[in-house]
Copies of this chain bind each other. A is one copy, B any other.
Amino acid sequence: MRELEERVAGLLGKPEALFFPSGTMAQQVALRVHADRTGRRSFAGHPQTHLHVWENQGYNALHGLRFHPVGDRNELFGLDDLKAVREPLAAVVFELPQRDIGGVLPAFADLAAQTAWARRSGAAAHCDGARLWEAQTGYDATFAEISALFDTVYVSLYKGLEGVRGAVLAGDGETIGQAAVWRRRMGGAIADAWPLAAIALMGMDVNLPRMAEFRDHAQALARAINEDGFAHTTPDVPATPLFHVHLPLSRHDAQRAAEHLLRETGIRLFLYTRSNPDPRRCSFEVSVGISGLEFTPREVVELIRGLPSRV
């Protein structure tokens, strides 16, 4: 485990790193430490941040923190959106890439300006790097150069690494020291998590060097889908191995078609759809990893095109 923590810290250019059994716990602890240090109870982030949408307001129920959404839920936020938050903030959470709008990345210069603004205002800049391994391929910058913009960085040990589970939080020694206290309080100081570390280290060896290849394949898939025109993607050109496909089908029809496809061919095109304000439409996420390379752009287009006939 120590080897994993040191390797992540080294890659991210941070003095220390600490394993957590989940990203939920890692990020709550990061925010708690920032809040206790600043004496502020609010943090800001994208309206669709996992912290707010998927964790039953644990940040509040456990830590007495409040969330302030920034900008439009379907777009990246900008510096002006951040400045519109009129409340003292303990931290600003930056998710790289912004998964729920299709894996979009802010320009590096925008990100630098936003994190600098946050820190000038007395807030910590925290990176939700659940998919930072994938995000890095979208920047002309190393992991350490990206991480240098942030006080704390959380990375996931599964997702892009195709590992089992677990998370690592990286930062300076004082912050990570305080995080270790909260990890124990939350029941996350697990003695025998070394198998997770071993698998994550393998993932770093095998998957990390291939991220650019995954992104290139994602771009080829998206190009084919957009040229075909039945569906289309966001972003138009993926910046990372992740993108969304927008379908002219209701989500119930799309879900049914995908289930029929799975039964008939064994191919799972997507796990679930995302609803749309227009009930005639929905979308799903594509995340290219090793198994995603098996499908050619032509094959993916045909699978998508065939959905209406399988409803």
Contact = CB atoms under 8 A, between A and B. Distances in A.
Contacts of A274: 277
A217 interface: no
Contacts of A57: 66-68
A75 interface: yes
Nearest to A65: B60
A246 interface: yes
Interface of A: 56-57, 60-61, 66-68, 72-75, 87, 101-102, 232, 234, 244, 246, 274-281, 283
B66 A61 contact: yes
B74 A275 contact: yes
Contact of A276 (B66, B232, B278): B278
Contacts of A73: 275
22 contacts: A56-B87, A57-B66, A57-B67, A60-B60, A60-B66, A61-B66, A73-B275, A74-B275, A74-B276, A74-B279, A102-B277, A232-B278, A234-B278, A234-B279, A244-B277, A246-B277, A246-B278, A276-B277, A276-B278, A277-B283, A278-B281, A278-B283
Contacts of A278: 232, 234, 246, 276, 281, 283
